[in-house]
Amino acid sequence: MVRFEEVGLRYVTPGAGLGPEVLHDLSFTLSDGVFRWLLGPSGAGKTSLLRLMYVATRPTRGRLTLLGADVATMSRRRLPGLRRRIGVVFQDFRLLSHLSAFDNVALPLRIAGRPEGQVRADVGEMLRWVGLAKKNQARPQELSGGEQQRVAIARAVVVRPSLLLADEPTGNLDEVQAERLMQLFKEMNRLGTTVVVASHNDALVSRHPAPALRLAAGRLVSAE
């Protein structure tokens, strides 16, 4: 479950202290296994909201509960364990360019300390699922944008996360690839994962109607 209660966020600028508040008084709850669009114009705070949800930053005020853990008061030492239960797909993929597709997907499992035999089996299965079994030794730069996106998705879901987040995942993809990506997200959601996808691709959203969190100027306008 994800619960925001009166959450506000300011970023810390090194040397200048706290910056202006970018998110104001966010309150909403996502039950387990739901699918939500995260919508709003550029600069509305979609990325900041997602950053809170994948614990890249912590709320400046309010209370944030992620998968049963109170993020604001949790000790820093326990955050890595929480992050391993959250999968994230970035618009710019964030793959490690010096590692093969296989090693990129294996990374979260190895960080979690899974035995290598299980890593090989899980990564192999995941690359087959995204249709990249034959390119498992290719470096990211040898893959097309769509293929890199699929590696990023495989990496995000290989740990079977309870929460899957995507920030403009179709931004670099053509229609066909974007459609295929949505099918993958929906499949994960059917398997019980809570999925939140930030997008400003209206056509895509209208083709896949689902409840949405709408942001404007750092405030939640509607939460269906």
The least distance separating another protein from the CB of residue 69, rounded to whole angstroms, comes to: 13
Residue 95 near residue 37 (C-beta atoms within 8 A): no
Residue 97 beta carbon to another protein: minimum distance, rounded to whole angstroms: 8
Q: Is the CB of 79 or the CB of 138 nearer to another protein?
A: 79
Residue whose CB is less far from another protein, 107 or 198: 107
Those residues whose C-beta lies under 8 Å from the C-beta of residue 109, and which sit 6 or more positions away, are 118, 119, 122, 123, 158, 159
Nearest approach, Cβ of 2 to another protein (angstroms)? Answer: 17
Q: Which residues contact 190 (CB under 8 A, 6 or more apart)?
A: none
**CB nearer another protein, residue 54 or residue 185:** 54
Closest residue by Cα to residue 24 from 224, 215, 223: 215
- Of 158, 209, 159, 161, nearest in space to 189 by CA: 161
Q: What are 2's strand-pairing partners? A: 30, 66
| Owner of token pair 């618009």 | 91
Is-contact 48 207, C-beta < 8 A? no
Q: Tell me the HSE value of 136 on the side-chain side, using a 13 A CA sphere.
A: 20
Q: Which is nearer to another protein, 32 or 92 (CB)?
A: 92
Cα–Cα separations (whole angstroms), residue 126 to 32, 60, 161, 211, 224: 23, 37, 13, 28, 32
Question: What's the closest the beta carbon of residue 148 comes to another protein, in angstroms?
Answer: 14
Minimum Å gap between C-beta 66 and another protein is 13
Which positions touch another protein (CB under 8 A)?
54-58, 76-77, 79-84, 88, 94, 96, 98-99, 103, 107-108, 110-116, 155
Nearer to another protein, 140 or 182 (CB): 140
CA distance 103 to 137: 8
In terms of CB distance, is 5 or 103 closer to another protein? 103
Q: What's the closest the beta carbon of residue 165 comes to another protein, in angstroms?
A: 11
